[in-house]
Amino acid sequence: MPPTSEALESIVISSKDLLVELCAISSASGELDGLRRVAARLGDELLARGFAVEVVEEADGKGASQPVLVARGSQARDRYRLLVGHMDTVLPAIPPRIEGDRLIATGGLDMKAGLAMFLGALDLLAARGQQLPQDLLLVVVPDEEVGGQVSENAVRRWGSGARAVLVLEPGERHGESETLVAGRRGMSEWRLEVAGKASHSGLAYWDGRSATAAAADWAAQAQALSERGAGVTVNVARLVGGDVDFVSNLAAHHDLLGSPRRRNVVSDRAVAEGEVRFLSNEDRERVLATLTSLAAKLAAAHGVTMRFEQGFSVPPVDPEGPGSALVEEAVALARARGWDLVVERDRGGISFPNYLEDPGRVPLVDGLGPVGEGMHTREEYVSLRSFGRRIVLLADLLEAM
Ligand SMILES: [Zn+2]
């Protein structure tokens, strides 16, 4: 039975009241008391809706332990629908206030609204006379805003048993409509080391082989591989060249910069470091192979040796991956309720989905939370209209899946 509009309205109001309460608790990353209070408050609400709730203390690798909220339905054993969120905020809280459609509140948009929305969606399902889905597992972490170890470990661990992943982070405004996130870039770090041959630039210039010139040539060509739109990007973040002493021990020799000393030496050492970003693993393989062969080609052309190494890597969420059907479903559900969801295929920044062992394995939808603006600032706000319709969207999606 569809709930009356009064019933929906009262669910949205009580969810908004809970959101205001959560935002009034200061829980900036590292504010352990506040984080524990948010976990406890959310835990009570989930317990009241039949979830088994645990607040697990996990070591953060820096000698402290931090709370992780884990709430599971009775059927969420080894295959579950995983919902993820975080309770930490960038700034400590100031008292929330409402102005028209805006709830101006620290961490409201990012992302306590996503957590309150989930509870609202459960209440809406109950008001529709539905049995609450028992295969849901909610994990709320305390250190996402600082790229923390607890978040990464928790998402990796709980992600391995998920049959779908719903990320409660906010969508974005897009004109009159709002977005949902289907794709997120992955990232691979790299390092290039170049060894040339030193010589006196006045007496024996042509005997030298400049490592700096070779590295700069490589860097310019590497960066030029970047493609606008959905393609790969290559960022040369650092390029250091000079004589071998200078490059290998910058701390001891930094005062050479700006001085006339050793300018007459053809550079025999250079190092470049950076990263590539990509939307699919094929793109990653392709760009890293091109960078490797570029190193071989330019080493020969410049008469130097070049060593190109790949480093730490996080996988992408491919917008064409197994989540695409679920994303389309969400778009259709919003349209059926009379509003438009636009799909973001290419969100930058490393976030929850990148922490999964293999985001290409499991259907995933990101950006389910309500929109607003001013994330991480004192002007941060959540649109209450968006909050209301996202509650309905999440309830519809949980029901349809
Ligand atoms: Zn966030």
What secondary structure letter does DSSP report for 374?
-
Structure confidence at residue 3 (pLDDT) = 75
User: How many angstroms does the Cα of residue 269 sit away from the middle of ligand 1?
Assistant: 41
At 239, the amino acid letter reads: L
pLDDT in tens, 285-334: 999 999 999 999 999 999 999 999 999 999 999 899 899 999 999 999 99
Mean pLDDT of 349-356: 86
User: How many angstroms does the Cα of residue 144 sit away from the middle of ligand 1?
Assistant: 7
User: How many angstroms does the Cα of residue 369 sit away from the middle of ligand 1?
Assistant: 10
User: How many angstroms does the Cα of residue 87 sit away from the middle of ligand 1?
Assistant: 9
| Domains of the chain: residue spans and CATH | 5-184+317-400 (3.40.630.10), 186-314 (3.30.70.360)
User: How many angstroms does the Cα of residue 26 sit away from the middle of ligand 1?
Assistant: 15
Neighbours of 99 (CB within 10 A): 8
Query: Alpha-carbon distance 365 to 180, whole Å?
Result: 8
pLDDT in tens, 55-76: 999 999 888 899 999 999 999 9
At 9, the amino acid letter reads: E
Structure confidence at residue 107 (pLDDT) = 97
Residue 373 β-bridge partners: 381
User: How many angstroms does the Cα of residue 128 sit away from the middle of ligand 1?
Assistant: 30
User: How many angstroms does the Cα of residue 394 sit away from the middle of ligand 1?
Assistant: 18
User: How many angstroms does the Cα of residue 351 sit away from the middle of ligand 1?
Assistant: 8
Q: How confident is the model at residue 348 (pLDDT cuts 50, 70, 90)?
A: confident
Query: Alpha-carbon distance 368 to 351, whole Å?
Result: 14
User: How many angstroms does the Cα of residue 239 sit away from the middle of ligand 1?
Assistant: 32
Concatenated DSSP letters for 103-159? EE-TTIIIIIHHHHHHHHHHHHHHHTTPPPPSSEEEEEES-GGGT-HHHHHHHHHHH
Q: How do beta strands 186-195 and 305-314 pair?
A: antiparallel
User: How many angstroms does the Cα of residue 376 sit away from the middle of ligand 1?
Assistant: 9
Structure confidence at residue 1 (pLDDT) = 59
What backbone phi and psi angles, to 5 degrees, belong to 53?
Answer: -120, 135
Mean pLDDT of 152-175: 94
Mean pLDDT of 333-355: 91
User: How many angstroms does the Cα of residue 72 sit away from the middle of ligand 1?
Assistant: 22
User: How many angstroms does the Cα of residue 366 sit away from the middle of ligand 1?
Assistant: 11
pLDDT in tens, 69-98: 999 999 998 899 999 999 999 999 999 999
User: How many angstroms does the Cα of residue 5 sit away from the middle of ligand 1?
Assistant: 31
User: How many angstroms does the Cα of residue 27 sit away from the middle of ligand 1?
Assistant: 13
pTM here is 0.85
User: How many angstroms does the Cα of residue 308 sit away from the middle of ligand 1?
Assistant: 34
User: How many angstroms does the Cα of residue 176 sit away from the middle of ligand 1?
Assistant: 23
**Percent of the chain residues topping a pLDDT of 70:** 100
Q: Is the pLDDT of residue 258 over 70?
A: yes
**Percent of the chain residues topping a pLDDT of 90:** 89
- E strand segments, 105-149: 136-141
Query: Alpha-carbon distance 330 to 339, whole Å?
Result: 11
Output the six-digit token pair for 70: 């884990």
pLDDT in tens, 11-35: 999 999 999 999 999 999 999 999 9
Query: Alpha-carbon distance 350 to 256, whole Å?
Result: 37
